[in-house]
Structure 1
Amino acid sequence: MKTMLDFIKYYDNDIFIKYFDSSITYGDFYKYVNGIAAQLASYGDDGSIIAMISENIPQFIMVQHACWKNGMIFTPLSPLDSYEELSRKVKFLNPAVVIISSEFRDSFGALNGIVDGKIIYTDPETFGKIPEGLKNKFIKSQGIEELNLRKKPYFDIYRPDPEDTAMLVFTSGTSGKQKAAEIRHKNIYSASFIYKNWFDVGKKDVNLGIAPFFHITGLIFGISLSVISHSKIVLNYRFTPEQTLNDIIKNKTTITMFVATAYRSMLNSWSGIDDIKNKLSSMRVWSAGGMPMPVKTEIEWKKMTGKYIYMAYGLTESTSPLTLWDYPYNGELKIYKDIVSSGRPVYYTTIKRSRGGELIARGPQVVSGYYHNAEDTKLTFSRNGMKTGDICHIDSNNWVYIIDRKKDLIDISGYKVWPVEIENAIRSSQFVEDVVVVPEKDEYKGEVPVAYVKLKDNINPYDEIKNEINNICREKLAKFKIPKNIVFINRMPVNASGKIKRSDIHKILGDAQ
């Protein structure tokens, strides 16, 4: 079995990375990696942890591969986390080096006081000027470049084994302990190989790299899929629908994967543009994962582009893919109880439904456990497979439907209710952009559902819309499932990767209308 280092050659002049108006060939990338690898070698040994805090910039990919050249463990951290969240993760990791994109030095520079190792800054504009609109929105400080970006033709100290740990990627925990999936080189290769062959990705493809690299989707579908298929990846620092459309038109991108919230954002931004279907015609695979895709979004996207959004399902613990839509797929939209299917099990992967409905998965892309967390490892992994924590339905043709997270179940007078069922009913309103349903304690019923609704374009009057939503719920849902209350909000609670996070709803209630 190979590692990603087997696919980068120093003599290769094909373009690997497009970053705004700049290009980096595979050969030059290889040489930049060698320079950074030599720099990192002075701060740690094989097995040392190197953490990186940045958006989607070329140095992220370079540092990742430079770590592997030293047999080091690469750990991406989200720049959208608070300082408190990041400091807890850094203390847990005790990294030999923390590399920070320099626009975040005011936010995270104080990590220097808790890190025993070295802090190195890198400049997001070293390899390309960020357009003024994007720069003004996200970058508020002067760039600093401290990475060794002098090209070095050779650097070979350590050759990683497929069984070696390649990355630690944080995910949500159940025990209260830090929970970082220990991803091995063999897991990365397996997951990337699955994507490559499933979607027939090759040198001709141009990957639109808009999923954040600190998330497993960006790491695998974005970076490693591009490497293993020898294709091009287009980076635009951080997702905006405007810059994304520019990149598609300019670079004739062909494949991408992101979350449902981004597709809704693109729909809102692009739907009125003249000849939009033709402008997007280079794209052959629109894909999404990480959260459910509303039926309404699928229908509207198909109408705007002529193509479905190919749903995927996977976890950080599965190094991304567990199920994918058949490709190509031209049939009817696969729906079960207003839930769009996440596809069928991918190559070499076994999926089954436990007696309680939980999805259990096995495959070469599935990790073996969590870094320094025996408790959650024991709860999640066994000889029978990985417990995903997701309740599923599997139809007679092996199409998988993710109903909801097991932990999000609402217990109403002994009746078990999945929030997604209520959410899908409310989304059918013409006025609703998105919704989150969470439980609220009730003295009589134990728990009752409460709906937090984001409307399209701040439409009002709210009382009339609330009445319409209640009428829809009465029509589509059993009486006990109808929300006790409907609260209108200005924004949805999303995490760093753009997924809606129900548990964060109370953090944004200051925005309630």
Structure 2
Amino acid sequence: MKARPWISQYPETIPVAMNYEAKPVQSFLTEAAEKYPQKCAIDFMDKEITYQALYQSALKFANYLKSLGIKKGDRVAIMLPNSPQAVISYYGTLYAGGTVVQTNPLYTERELEYQMSDSGTKVIVTLDVLYPRVSKVKGKTSLKHIIVTAIKDYLPFPKNLIYPFVQKKQTGIVVQVKHEGENHRFKTIMETSDAKQPVIDFNFEEDIALLQYTGGTTGFPKGVMLSHKNLVANATMCDAWLYRCKKGEEVVLGLLPLFHVYGMTAVLILSVMQGYKMILLPKFDAETTLKVIHKKRPTVFPGAPTIYIGLINHPDVHKYDLSSVASCISGSASLPVEVQQKFEKLTGGKLVEGYGLTESSPVTHANFLWDKESVKGSIGVPWPDTDAQILSLETGEPLPSGEIGELAVKGPQVMRGYWNRPKDTEEVLKDGWLRTGDLGYMDENGYFYIVDRKKDMIIAGGFNIYPREIEEVLYEHEAIQEAVVAGVPDPYRGETVKAYIVLKKNASVTEKELEAYTRKYLAAYKIPRIYEFRDELPKTAVGKILRRTLVEEERQRLG
């Protein structure tokens, strides 16, 4: 109890330790189809697909993969936005015994070639508009087959007729792929393939369900090996945390990309495991999202801070009824307190900050949604069966509460290692403990706080400066919509603090006013010395602001 003070914080409704059903991820779709055959599993732009239809489609996909020679452990890449095809391909690959490689549809040819080569992927599922990009890298990789689908294939009438014209106008790309040779049409597969469930030998702990590539902010992206046990454990923990949610009844807003590990666990796996309806949106647009919430009444809304920021700052937000939203866990980046408070006021629901990383499937910590007040600025406490400690940067030994060091985590959701990278695996996994690379501390009650990435810490004039602390202050300013702080080269201090700012619509503020404002809340050495105002900030697909991209831009500018 002394070593794990967070245990005393747990409400009686959440177990400290859990049992995990030793069965593959795809088995939950089999069960959902048996229990809720006619229940809507997916709502995609008003097209509804039942659990029975989803199950049958996944089996057809699995059998087609097997006809292409896919064997247990072979890698299949899914390069799709949120869509029914992404869900079908994911579960179909697992039914065939394959390993899913989630691939960002925004990848350039260079990024795609690297991932396909590194993973040894044999089959890729992609959109018609992305086919030219994929076909160009095919010959340089282990890719043998390209399965092509189109957004219109799963749109209701008359959207399915209109969409091709919209797509042509937006992209200028029209692709017609014949179902022959090494090219395959998703629609033809669904029309001709068998829906019998393949029989696959299965090892809960050893078999890799997913190769999820890291963001590559510290060199080349690494393939994180996540087993069926890792994913089932994390989704089961997520269900325990959302203990007021009712099996078979909730509606989940699937806005987080399913190709991102948080969207995959909190939307894709959890929804199927619990028989929820998924409302899938292929991209984030604030107005579209507000309309969907107003009309479709989602109850669970996993997201990222930039998504919530976009919604609360939309000029017409008060025209929409958002009261259905009851529970939201924010991940991928720190959640400004100001954003949390405004979103909760708008919806009447609960928005709390959580924490995770690709290497842990991804969630390890979160604040409690109910029965306990959220601790502002904290990532919360470790999830069931999850241990955490703060390690000294000098000695590697555990530190007492209140002292800043590197966060390390341990639990059944922690990866098996990096794909074909034993040395990198040894550096971050020691006796089951995962070194996260994040700096933080634990308070006396067992709540954890992230002060920053180890690599993002700014050292100016000998002082250690944590960007997150400064960003929290900036977010509280009434004119600021988004802010990110980075260390940029400085001939005198080594590094100096620069703030990149996006202002709210029709708002204005000067550098001089911001300096006076920050001086009220921050020590002199933490105050930004440089401000840059931008229309937007570079972000990942899940909405995480790319601080390293800004730093790299600065270095190139300075030569």
TM (norm. structure 2) is 0.84
Match of 2:116 among 83, 90, 114: 90
Match of 1:2 in 2: 23
**Which deviates more, 317-326 or 110-119?**
110-119
How many equivalent residue pairs? 499
Residue pairs, 1:201-280, within 5 angstroms: 201=245, 202-269=247-314, 272-274=317-319, 276=320, 279-280=321-322
Deviation of the 1:399 alpha carbon? 1.7
For the residues of structure 1 that align with 2:504 and 2:163, how far apart are their CA atoms? 25
- Secondary structure of the 2:485 match is strand
1:341 counterpart residue number:
378
Are residues 1:191 and 2:234 paired?
A: yes
Q: Pick from 127, 131, 134 the counterpart of residue 105 of structure 1.
A: 131
Shift in alpha-carbon separation, 1:101–1:153, aligned structure 2, 3 A: same
Rounded Cα–Cα distance in structure 1 between residues aligned with 2:52 and 2:132: 34
- 1:401 positional shift: 1.6
Query: Partner residue of 2:53?
Result: 28
Structure 1 residues 302 and 69, CA gap change in structure 2 (3 angstroms)? closer
Deviation digits for residues 367-419 of structure 1 (CA, Å, limit 9, x no counterpart): 12110112221111111510111112222222222111111011112111111
The runs of at least 4 aligned residues of structure 1 exceeding 6 Å deviation read 131-134
Contact kept? 2:46, 2:155, Cα under 8 Å: yes
- Going from structure 1 to structure 2, the CA distance change for 1:2 and 1:424 (only over 3 Å counts) comes to same
Task: Quote the residue 1:172 is aligned against.
Answer: 215
| Secondary structure at the counterpart of residue 125 of structure 1 | helix
Inter-partner Cα distance in structure 1 for 2:473 and 2:297: 37
**Greater Cα offset, 367-376 or 246-255:** 246-255
1:18 pairs with 2:43 = yes
Counterpart Cα distance in 1 of 2:311 and 2:341: 14
Q: Deviations over 1:220-270 (max 9, x none)?
A: 001000111111111122222222223223322110211100111111226
**TM superposition shift of 1:506:** 5.2
Whole-angstrom CA distance in 1 between matches of 2:316 and 2:329: 18
| 2:480 corresponds to 1:432 | yes
Give the deviation of 1:5 after TM superposition. Answer: 2.1
Which amino acid in 1 is paired with 2:494?
G
Match of 2:190 in 1: 149
Contact 1:317 1:367 in 2 (8 A): yes
Contact 2:77 2:124 (8 Å CA) reproduced = yes
- The aligned counterpart of 2:411 is 363
CA contact (8 A) 1:177 1:373 kept: no
**Does 2:425 correspond to 1:377?**
yes
CA RMSD between the two structures: 2.3
Deviation for aligned residue 1:65: 1.2
Q: Counterpart of 1:115? A: 141
Matched to 1:187, the amino acid is: N
The verdict on how the C-alpha distance between 1:421 and 1:133 changes in structure 2, with shifts beyond 3 A counting, is farther
CA deviation map 1:275-297 (0-9, x unaligned): x4xx2122211221010011211
SS at match of 1:65: helix
Provide the residue aligned with 1:488 in structure 2: 533
> Is the CA contact (8 Å cut-off) linking 1:409 and 1:419 kept in structure 2?
yes
Matches within 5 A, 1:131-142: 140-142=172-174
- Residue of structure 1 aligned with 2:353, choices 311, 314, 334: 311
Alignment check: 8 A CA contact 1:256 1:285 kept: yes
- Counterpart of 1:404 (choices 452, 455, 464) is 452
Q: 2:77 aligns to what?
A: 51
Tell me whether 29-38 or 182-191 shows the greater mean CA deviation. Answer: 29-38
The answer to whether the Cα contact below 8 Å between 1:390 and 1:405 also exists between their aligned partners in 2 is yes
Q: Return the offset for 1:141.
A: 3.7
SS of 2:314's equivalent in the other structure is helix
In the superposition, relative to structure 1, how do residues 138 and 387 fare at CA in structure 2: closer, same or farther (>3 Å)?
A: farther
| Structure 1 residues 285 and 508, CA gap change in structure 2 (3 angstroms) | farther
* Structure 1 residue 322 corresponds to structure 2 residue 364: yes
Is contact 1:427–1:433 with CA below 8 Å preserved after alignment? Answer: yes
For 2:218 and 2:525, the matched residues in 1 are separated by 31
SS in 2 for 1:358: strand
Distance in 1 between the 2:513 and 2:470 partners?
14
1:347 Cα deviation (Å)? Answer: 0.8
AA matched with 1:352: Q
1:140 positional shift: 5.0
Structure 1's 271 and 312: CA in aligned 2 closer, same or farther, altered over 3 A?
farther
CA distance in 1, matches of 2:60, 2:317: 47
Is 1:17–1:24's contact at 8 Å kept on the other side of the alignment? yes
1:211 counterpart letter in structure 2? L
From 276, 279, 284, the counterpart of 2:326: 284
Query: In 2 relative to 1, CA 65–159 (structure 1 residues): closer, same or farther, beyond 3 Å?
Result: farther
Say whether the 8 Å CA contact 1:175–1:376 is kept in structure 2. no
Question: Could you say if the C-alpha distance between residues 270 and 229 of structure 1 is closer, same or farther in structure 2, counting changes exceeding 3 Å?
Answer: farther
Task: Determine if contact 1:391/1:404 at 8 Å carries over to the other structure.
Answer: yes
SS at match of 2:417: coil
**Contact 2:486–2:551 at 8 Å: present in 1 too?**
no
Superposed CA offset, 1:83-139 (max 9, x none): 221221112122111111112224433122323311121112212156979955966
Cα distance, 1:302–1:268 mapped onto 2, change above 3 Å: same
- Give the whole-Å Cα distance in 2 for the aligned partners of 1:173 and 1:22: 36
One-letter amino acid matched to 2:298: T
Q: Which moved more, 1:412-421 or 1:237-246?
A: 237-246
TM-score, with normalisation over the residues of structure 1? 0.91
Point out where structure 1 has 5 or more consecutive residues left out of the alignment. none
Query: 2-side partners of 1:384 and 1:330: how far apart?
Result: 30
Distance 1:140 1:506 in 2: 34
